[in-house]
Amino acid sequence: EVELVESGGGLVQPGGSLRLACVASGSTFSTQSMTWVRRAPGKGLEWVSSISTLGSAQNYADSVKGRFTISRDNAKNTLYLQLNNLKTEDTAMYYCTPGWGSCTGGACTIPQTPRGPGTQVTVSS
- Cα dihedral sign for 47, 105, 88, 69? positive
* CA distance linking residue 58 with residue 117, whole number of Å: 24
Q: 1: exposed, middle or buried (C-beta count within 10 Å: 0-12, 13-18, 19+)?
A: exposed
Residue 2 is predicted with a pLDDT of: 79
The better pLDDT of the pair 1, 86 is held by: 86
Give the percent of the chain with pLDDT over 70. 100
Question: What was the pLDDT predicted at 113?
Answer: 93
What is the per-residue pLDDT for 100? Answer: 96
**Helix (H) or strand (E) segment spanning residue 21:** strand 18-24
- pLDDT classification of 122: cutoffs 50, 70, 90: very high
Q: 10 Å Cβ neighbour count for 48?
A: 26
Amino acid at 53: T
Q: Is the CB of residue 53 less than 8 Å from the CB of residue 72?
A: no
pLDDT of residue 31: 94
For the stretch 40-84, pLDDT in tens is 999 999 999 999 999 999 999 999 999 999 999 999 999 999 999
The residue type at 110: I
pLDDT confidence of 103, banded at 50, 70, 90? confident
